[in-house]
Amino acid sequence: MVNIIGYRKLNLTISGMLFVTSVFFLIVFGLNAGIDFKGGSMLEATFSNNRPQVSQVQAALKTLNFGEMVVQPSGEKNMTIKTRFLNEEEHQVMLNKLRQNFEINDNKVLEIQFQTIGPAISSQLRIRALYAAIAVMIGIIIFIAYSFRRVSKPIASWKYGVTAILAVFHDTVITTGVFSFLGHFAGVEVDIPFVVAILTILGYSVNDTIVIFDRIRENLVRHGSDDFAETVNVAVNQTFMRSINTTLNVLIVLAALFVFGGASIHYFSLALLIGIFLGAYSSIFIASPLLVVWHNWNNRHSDE
């Protein structure tokens, strides 16, 4: 049996360093908000025969002086262009520019969609995304506290919920920190699919943590709470392979989506890859050790 709880100081130190680094990135770099959160326009076009290179489209549209543009391939023949807010006249100018440059040798440029998101809507989306995350975390604490209400010794049931939230917070902050780094150095944007990925990570991480906590509860009922650290360590070891196998299966699927899924879900898959890996890690090496740390802290202060 691996003494995972015995090495809790090392595990928590490593996680703390990653967490602090991610917070540093978020403070210094921030997040590169996409059109969903900062407003703007998006044109998606398809090329009937040959889709040009991203650099060719950028060079053709640069002469329009529409400011910074994000050009991304989508599917096999599509191209997505994101820019500042464009009125209808500017929209038509951009579309005509694409046709002038790339309708060669029967290659047709057809518009699939044109969307515009104003500042008011983008601000509302940011607020709703934040509310959704807060609501999920509050719901998790209430659910776990209720589920563990009959296990109040040696640690109160609500503390299981708070510990699970701390582990989830660890996962989401590090994932967001990675995207802050990528946004600053590689221009990666965060949008609504990124928020969906974060909420998915919340659910997955908590699910894995509850499995371990449930085993802790069973062991406390069967064997008592004389040595809480040992009880937690046994529970973690009993569920260790289940967590690893489940996570590996999910990560294999996400890796396939990341490689073969296309540009539209490329970074969505990456966020899930990072977050679900961290979710499995935090369930084993963060949430369970934190329970022991909290229990020991309570004991020391009750003896004083």
The pLDDT tens digits for 129-179 are 778 878 877 887 788 777 777 665 777 778 888 888 899 899 999 999 999
Sign of the Cα torsion 180, 115, 46, 52 reads negative
How confident is the model at residue 269, as a pLDDT?
94
Say whether 40-117 and 5-34+121-303 share the same fold.
no
In tens, the pLDDT along 191-228 reads 888 888 988 888 888 888 888 988 888 888 787 667 88
The tokens 């489209």 sit on which residue? 57
Q: Please say whether the dihedral angle defined by the alpha carbons of residues 14, 20, 25 and 30, taken in this order, is positive or negative.
A: positive
CA distance 164 to 145: 11
pLDDT computed for residue 159 by the predictor: 83
Residues 209 and 6: their CA atoms lie apart, in Å, by 19
Across the strands, what pairs with 82? 42, 70
E strand intervals along the chain: 40-47, 70-74, 78-83, 109-117
Residues 6+ apart with CB under 8 A from 264: 74, 75, 80
**What CATH number is given for 40-117 in this structure?**
3.30.70.3400
Give yes or no for residue 301 having a pLDDT over 70. Answer: no
- pLDDT on residue 282: 93
Cα distance between residue 263 and residue 265, in whole Å: 6
Can you tell me the distance from the alpha carbon of 17 to that of 34, in angstroms, rounded to the nearest whole number?
28
Half-sphere exposure of 290 (CA within 13 A, CB side): 24
Q: Are 270 and 226 in contact (CB under 8 A)?
A: no
Half-sphere exposure for 114 (CA within 13 Å, toward CB): 14
Token digits of residue 221: 């009922």
The mean pLDDT value of the chain amounts to 86
Q: 5-34+121-303 in CATH: which number? A: 1.20.1640.10
The model's pTM is 0.81
> Is residue 122 scored above 90 in pLDDT?
no
**Tally of helices (H runs) and strands (E runs) in the chain:** 10, 4
pLDDT at 303 over 60: no
Shortest CA distance to 178 belongs to which of 252, 277, 272, 271?
271
Q: Where are the domains of the chain?
A: 5-34+121-303, 40-117
Reported as a pLDDT band with limits 50, 70 and 90, residue 84 is confident
Q: From the centroid of its chain, how far is CA 286?
A: 18
pLDDT of residue 152: 58
- pLDDT at residue 145, as a whole number: 74
